[in-house]
Structure 1
């Protein structure tokens, strides 16, 4: 694993902000509910698992999630998740190990990382016919409008690579305005510090394909 394969992320050095993000992003749990429906039973890989927040929620008595995370500072060993260290471009598992794989707001950032290498590795470790799922920002919402730079995924990119997609309309929901300003100010600077409410419309794209 090369250092250039890892996207710098604030969660390991600012755990208090990451706690706000995970608690308030999609607070109604719509993305988790969707993944519960899409993922099969068996062995599933979470690429860029962070602190294991999503993996822990998706585990069942019939489904084991392996959380793969390159940043040791992100891993939360108190969670009921099996973790391994690794990056999307070089997944440390044998071919056809998993029944499915997914990634939520993690590796697949167009123009920053080698997307095709990551997709190829994802396909390699998932059994034929198993689902591949990418969750990312869709845009055209209140949350993404706060940014002065593009933070949305390219639907054309994924369509060209054989993925379908659908949109989940969810929200960032904060406990109070002070909490909203703390996280959104960190993300977006002055526009985030100027917010006056606790709920922000947020659209998520869920990209899906079956491994061929």
Structure 2
């Protein structure tokens, strides 16, 4: 695992901000519900698992989630899931180990080459006809409009790769205006410093494809 393959993530250095994000983003649990219905039983890999928040909720008696995360500060060993250290570009498992693999808000890279390498690795470790799922910002919503930089996924890229997609309509829902300002200003700077509400429209894209061995 090369240091250059690891994308800096704020959660390890600012756990208080990550706690707000995990609690307030998709508070209704629509993304978790969609993943739970979609993912098969068996062995499933969570790529870029963060602190294991999603993996823990998707684990069941019939589904074993293995969480892979490059940042040791993010790994929460108190969660009852299997942990592995690694990156999307270099997944430390054999060919066709998993029945499915998914990534939630983690499958982003500095360039197309890294994106292709990460996707190739996911395809390598998932069995033929197993499921590949990428969850990301869809855009065209209140949340993404707060950013001065593009933070929505490139839908055309995934469609051209053979992925279908669905849009999940959810929200960021905060306990107070002060909490909303704290997190969103951390994300977006002065553009979010004067917000005065607690609920923000948020659209999530879920890209889905059956794995094919070429």
Map 1:124-143 to 2 at 5 A: 124-143=124-143
Shift of 1:110: 6.6
Residue 37 of structure 2 corresponds to 37
Distance 1:156 1:109 in 2: 16
Shift of 1:80: 1.2
What whole-Å deviation, never above 9, does each CA across 1:23-64 have from its counterpart, x for those lacking one? 100000000000001100000000000000000000010001
SS at match of 1:184: helix
Distance 1:25 1:192 in 2: 16
What whole-Å deviation, never above 9, does each CA across 1:103-148 have from its counterpart, x for those lacking one? 0000234737711111110000000000100000000000000000
Distance 1:113 1:8, change over 3 A: farther
Distance 1:135 1:120 in 2: 17
Contact 1:110 / 1:153 at 8 angstroms: preserved in 2? no
Distance 1:210 1:81 in 2: 25
Residue 179 of structure 1 corresponds to 179
SS at match of 2:127: coil
RMSD of the TM alignment (CA)?
A: 1.0
What whole-Å deviation, never above 9, does each CA across 1:168-189 have from its counterpart, x for those lacking one? 0000000000110110010001
SS at match of 2:11: helix
1:152 and 2:152 matched: yes
Residue 9 of structure 2 corresponds to 9
Map 1:76-91 to 2 at 5 A: 76-91=76-91
Name structure 1 gaps, 5 residues minimum: none
Residue 164 of structure 2 corresponds to 164
Residue 74 of structure 2 corresponds to 74
Contact 2:11 / 2:18 at 8 angstroms: preserved in 1? yes
Distance 2:173 2:46 in 1: 25
Residue 57 of structure 1 corresponds to 57
Contact 2:88 / 2:118 at 8 angstroms: preserved in 1? yes
Name structure 2 gaps, 5 residues minimum: none
* Pairs aligned (count): 212
SS at match of 1:74: coil
Distance 2:74 2:110 in 1: 22
Distance 1:112 1:78 in 2: 35
